[in-house]
Structure 1
């Protein structure tokens, strides 16, 4: 990579991390510690400084669990231990040596929700302004612009929460179901939320499932709708 910077030059004297911690305290979000090696590798792969919220999340935590686990903000990754882990920003986006299968080019996935919805920063592939966040909804299977940059999105998620944003996809007692999930799980529903019959998730058959299998089902359904 031309112009690649060492990690030392990406660590700012004026980090955004104290601000992120302040936001996280507003609604008792759970900050995952991650491990130093994974966080360092993620920051290096992203090539952003810790002055940014994105860089601070990558370097200072493994990720943040919001709204009882409904939303997972990605950071430096939480290694599997007593329970399954959370992918890092680098792993989720196919960056660096330890990358998983890469997502589509032109975007950076920065968070996902329990139903498989994705939040991505546009780098040319999404219907949003450059650098702004868009949401791939499990109910629409389409990307919708949120008209906010990454820092504003993180502040909103941590301080306001998704009560209004996700209200149409939540059901009575969702907190108990979501709280029992491990970090690598989401909730699958039948009929699926993108179908007309599946609009009411309270009436659907719901079950824990690997989040990667939910993404796979959504990708297959989205491709079918596009054909």
Structure 2
């Protein structure tokens, strides 16, 4: 996102987070997220950024998975997309 940590924190608290994620949330996402433990994330297939998911977010397949799996997928994409070091994600 090309911003430093303090700028990112400021942005997170600015109220613009809702706008950023509005196209990536499905009906009932709050309840699904609230049911997770702190060590879990949500696996969404097809990926939220895909055309298939964007056509109907409610129709995506979702399940609770260990956060290690969510971070592992993110690290894999980071490594495949270019020379950017995924940092601690690469060690998952």
TM-score norm. by structure 1 comes to: 0.31
Equivalent residue, structure 2, for 1:219? 75
**8 Å contact 2:40–2:66 — kept in the other structure?**
yes
Q: Is the 8 A contact 2:42 2:64 kept in 1?
A: yes
CA deviation after TM superposition for structure 1 residue 221, in Å: 4.4
Which residue is equivalent to 2:8?
Answer: 153
Q: What stretches of structure 2 of length at least 5 have no aligned partner?
A: 83-92
Quote the Cα distance in structure 2 between the aligned partners of 1:150 and 1:225. Answer: 22
Larger radius of gyration: 1
How far residue 173 of structure 1 moved from its aligned partner, in angstroms, is 1.6
Q: Deviations over 1:16-55 (max 9, x none)?
A: xxxxxxxxxxxxxxxxxxxxxxxxxxxxxxxxxxxxxxxx
Indicate the residue corresponding to 2:33 in structure 1.
Answer: 178
Structure 1: how far apart are the matches of 2:53 and 2:22?
15
Instruction: Report how many residues are paired.
Output: 81
Q: What's the secondary structure of 1:151's corresponding residue? A: helix
Q: What is the deviation of 1:150?
A: 2.3
1:171 partner SS: coil
Q: Tell me what 1:190 maps to.
A: 45
List runs of 5+ in structure 1 lacking aligned partners.
Answer: 1-133, 135-144
Greater share of strand: 1
Q: 1:149 to 1:211 in 2, by over 3 A?
A: same
Query: For the aligned residues, what is the CA RMSD?
Result: 2.4
Corresponding residue for residue 90 of structure 2 = none
Classify 1:196/1:175 alpha carbon distance in 2 versus 1 (closer, same or farther; 3 Å). Answer: same
Match of 2:58 in 1: 202
Q: TM-score by structure 2 length?
A: 0.67
DSSP-derived class of the 1:181 partner:
coil
